[in-house]
Homo-oligomer: A and B are copies of this chain.
Amino acid sequence: MAGRNPDKEGRRQAILQAALQVFARKGYEPATLEAVAREAGLAKGTLYLYFKNKEDLYFHTAVHVLESLQDSILEKSRRCSGALDRLRATALGQFDFFVRHRDTLQMLAAFSHPGLARLHKRLLAAMMEKWAGHLQRITGLVEEGQRAGAIRPDIPPGHIALAFTGMASQVAQVLVGFPLAKSAATASGPQAGQPRESAEVMADTMMRILVEGVMQR
């Protein structure tokens, strides 16, 4: 799957890595190709031999990132059986990944950047596909759980998947230390919660809320 030139693909990967760093650090608009090139140890013009333009680079980076994320999650969740365990593993995989590559989360935060709305269809579709795949897997796990009788069937699986991803991304932000999310976890007043738990503890707590609910029984 690599280019003719043995180094071609390596260069491409180097650029993607550099772009991830820079886009994560700066966001889409403020990131400069100059910075990407410097980070990659290449000249600015060289980037254009591998990517059509800034937008193109951005989206290939995004796709690349989503692929890594998915790989990381899949690897963790494949080792488990049972829908709930797999969901927990999915959450944990996500947290782990973000904690280890916090740039990635920042990068993904820029996805909603409206300036990217008018993007090349194909690239946007590729991103969508990756992301949708992620969600589909989760929805699939929920359905599996419903069929197996572990998850209540009276709520559409899509909605449960939504709840799951919502919680998970919020928790991920706390774990990574995003300012606004952090203030959430710290805002609880006198007997405040302990925000800086480990990824594992947070994944557990999250799953307990999702699975058992918060109602007192």
A177 proximity list for chain B (CB < 8 A):
none
A161–B188 touching, CB < 8 Å = yes
Contact of A214 among B155, B169, B170 (CB under 8 A): B155
Quick check: is A131 within 8 A (CB to CB) of the other chain? yes
Quick check: is A178 within 8 A (CB to CB) of the other chain? yes
A26 proximity list for chain B (CB < 8 A):
114-115
Q: Which A178-215 residues have C-beta < 8 A from chain B?
A: 178-181, 183-189, 191-195, 202, 205-206, 208-215
Binds B, one of A5-13, A53-61, A73-81, A134-142: A134-142
Contact of A167 among B132, B162, B208 (CB under 8 A): B162
Instruction: State in angstroms the CA–CA spacing of A49 and B206 once bound together.
Output: 48
Listed residue (A27, A124, A128, A145) with the most chain B CB atoms within 10 angstroms of its CB: A27
Contact with B along A25-64 (1 / 0, CB 8 A): 1111110000000000000000000000000000000000
Given A158-B187, A193-B157: A216 and B112 interface contact (C-beta under 8 Å): no
Instruction: State in angstroms the CA–CA spacing of A171 and B217 once bound together.
Output: 27
Can you name 12 A-B residue pairings with CB atoms under 8 Å?
A: A29-B29, A106-B112, A109-B113, A110-B112, A133-B187, A139-B189, A143-B188, A150-B216, A155-B205, A156-B205, A165-B184, A213-B214
| Given A124-B179, A131-B180, 13 additional A-B pairs, CB 8 A | A24-B114, A135-B183, A140-B189, A152-B212, A155-B208, A156-B205, A158-B193, A158-B194, A162-B185, A166-B170, A169-B170, A212-B213, A213-B213
Chain A contact residues, CB within 8 Å of chain B: 24-30, 106, 109-115, 124, 127-128, 131-133, 135-136, 139-140, 142-143, 145-146, 149-153, 155-163, 165-171, 174, 178-181, 183-189, 191-195, 202, 205-206, 208-217
